[in-house]
Copies of this chain bind each other. A is one copy, B any other.
């Protein structure tokens, strides 16, 4: 017998956590984290914003904000999202304390213990942890190179009982798989979901981090289509386009779902940080966001290409991966049945870390993949560190 709630009783610290402490050990080259590089933050733009705030704006920054968000940020963010073709007029926008909070709130709105929810395999660990916190029954749908395996999705939809409470997916620069969903796969998904009353959570945290403009048509969002009969809840983040330390994200959702979510948000933290909202509003309104995202796209592309080249030069041929078209990650497929935890241990001895495949597996089992991030390491460190990972793989998987 435990005195904790049933959803809390079986919470255990994850491997990720121990990894993270290793990742910051002195001299360690870390490809583990999913955070932007410290040296890439737009410090000058933020300084300029802070130095020119009026007294009234500073007071707003320090005061409680409305639960939904500061009106000025809701306005500027609506404009920003509308330029991407998102239907802000026919949906409601809420500012959340990071986009993970948006996902957590949606999980709380929909999940009773044991309820099935459809997730990708592999999937974003933060979302899995939010769904597990409500004791969801995670139903994995395997990923292919262009998105969800729609054959498998169809099977899950036809056989999962009771009906799944929602489908969670990340269309662009998938964490960890690195892929973009093709338009074709998204269209097939919408056809399959039509008329089933299963909402979609479309988590688009990496939207701005594309490397090639030619990919933009492929990146068209389900939410821009906003298909009749499917409630799409679109979530996004300032973490990748400004800084995670602001803890700001958003949710764009149909009225009825939004209403529940706002009441849940109220009971979690009353409102998102005003200080961050004042800065984020200026950052969009004064156009900094466009210059900044253009600059970091270039930098992440350079890093992604350096990592691709280093991997191609050093990996054994039994390891395959897709070249990144944006985002932060490359997902390495090891020989079937390999144990990436054993590879990790060897890699740590050599002075480098990454994240094991099973971390992202909804079942916590499948471990013959690993994720390397290129977001928080400069080109020079990438060139030094990648061969160490390749060595570790070679020693463990193809001795």
What is A's interface to B at a CB cutoff of 8 Å?
Answer: 3-8, 11-13, 35-36, 38-39, 41, 43, 46-47, 50, 55, 58-65, 97-98, 100-101, 104, 108-112, 115, 126, 129-130, 132-134, 165, 197, 199, 239, 242-247, 259-260, 263-264, 266-276, 279
Contact = CB atoms under 8 A, between A and B. Distances in A.
7 contacts: A3-B110, A4-B110, A8-B109, A38-B59, A41-B62, A43-B58, A275-B275
Contacts of A4: 109-110, 260
B270 A126 contact: yes
Nearest to A101: B269
Nearest to A261: B8
Nearest to A274: B245
Contacts of A50: 50
A7 B108 contact: yes
Contacts of A274: 243-247
B41 A58 contact: yes
Contacts of A264: 8, 11, 133
Contacts of A247: 97, 247, 269, 271-274
Given A8-B110, A100-B267, 20 more contacts: A3-B197, A4-B109, A5-B111, A6-B112, A8-B263, A41-B58, A41-B59, A41-B62, A43-B59, A43-B62, A60-B245, A62-B243, A100-B270, A104-B268, A108-B133, A129-B266, A130-B267, A244-B274, A247-B274, A275-B279
